[in-house]
Structure 1
Amino acid sequence: MARTRVVRNGEGAVVAPWRVKSSGDLSDGRFDLMVGEVPYRSGPPLHRHEDQEDTFYVLEGVLTVQGDDEIFEAGPGDFVTFPPGVAHTFDNLEPGQPPVRVLNIMTPGGYDRAIAAFNELGAQMADLAKAQAVGKRFKVEIVGPPIHEKLG
């Protein structure tokens, strides 16, 4: 039987840089809901999800976002969603700006496991073959560099 779930401020598993408020494991696979802080020049490589819609709501700061070939800025209150198959990335590219606070929803859920697996790579994430091998396990394809590398 379904139960009400309450996750208080500061609670939830941490899968850097995200605090997982709900995961696919806790929502019967329906969604992940994560709150994260994106430090300066720390965003992920350009990637696309085979099955998942990746949605962002900016809480604080300015997030630079790329969807396919379009690059734009999203500020507090802005909502951005990428359907499955759309190449995308994001980053904090404002020098001196504190980490950008973002709400992230993945549907269906389970992507928190992929983030944990990518985190385990650490510096080896720069090895494209290793990163792509991890991505393949979670139906995500890395198709380009992080936006901070693209824009310099």
Structure 2
Amino acid sequence: MDPAIKPYTSAETLEIAEGIAVKILLTGDDTGGAIAVFEDIVAPDTGPPRHIHHLQDETFFFLEGHFDVEIEGALHHFGPGDTAFVPKGSVHAFKNVGSAPGCLRYTFNPALRIEEMFRALHFAFMGDGFDEGAAAALAAEHGQEMAGPPL
């Protein structure tokens, strides 16, 4: 496998929900399937629904702002420089609890082409008829499960 070198400015950016923009930094294709790396810009009082990654571990790196993260029912508070590891199979969600947009970077191990889910969510969100049911169906196609409302 060759090294993967990608300038930050070349990252594909996708709006996947109201107030959440995802930058695709590294894909499974870039890393031989080992890892995928993303960055979210999250509006205040915003976050995804509770969900489960059945086949992937997820690690968060909090860069800007303040976030609440719930993992298996336990609430944690994070700020710049903090990290969190979420083992596969764990119900989790995050929310920007600050007054300005927040930024977090995260990885999926293994990658499992998770970027395809984000692209599908983006195209669905930008089209007509996007709702929680559509998001749940797209997530399920990629080994993810919606497990409850946002925080």
Structure with more strand by fraction: 2
Deviation at 1:20, TM superposition (A): 1.5
Q: Does 1:90 align with 2:94?
A: yes
- 2:61–2:82 contact (8 Å) kept in structure 1: yes
How many Å separate the matches in 2 of 1:36 and 1:127? 20
How many Å separate the matches in 2 of 1:20 and 1:127? 23
How many Å separate the matches in 1 of 2:130 and 2:86? 23
Change (3 A) 1:116 1:42: farther
Deviation at 1:4, TM superposition (A): 2.9
Q: Does 1:119 align with 2:118?
A: no
- 2:8–2:25 contact (8 Å) kept in structure 1: no
- 2:48–2:94 contact (8 Å) kept in structure 1: yes
- Determine the structure 2 residue equivalent to 1:75: 79
Deviation at 1:65, TM superposition (A): 0.7
Q: TM-score, normalised by structure 1?
A: 0.85
Identity of aligned residues (%): 24
- 2:4–2:31 contact (8 Å) kept in structure 1: no
How many Å separate the matches in 1 of 2:89 and 2:149? 17
Corresponding residue pairs, total: 143
Alignment RMSD = 1.7
Could you give the per-residue CA deviations for residues 28-60 of structure 1, whole angstroms, max 9, x where no partner exists?
A: 111111122111133111000110111101011
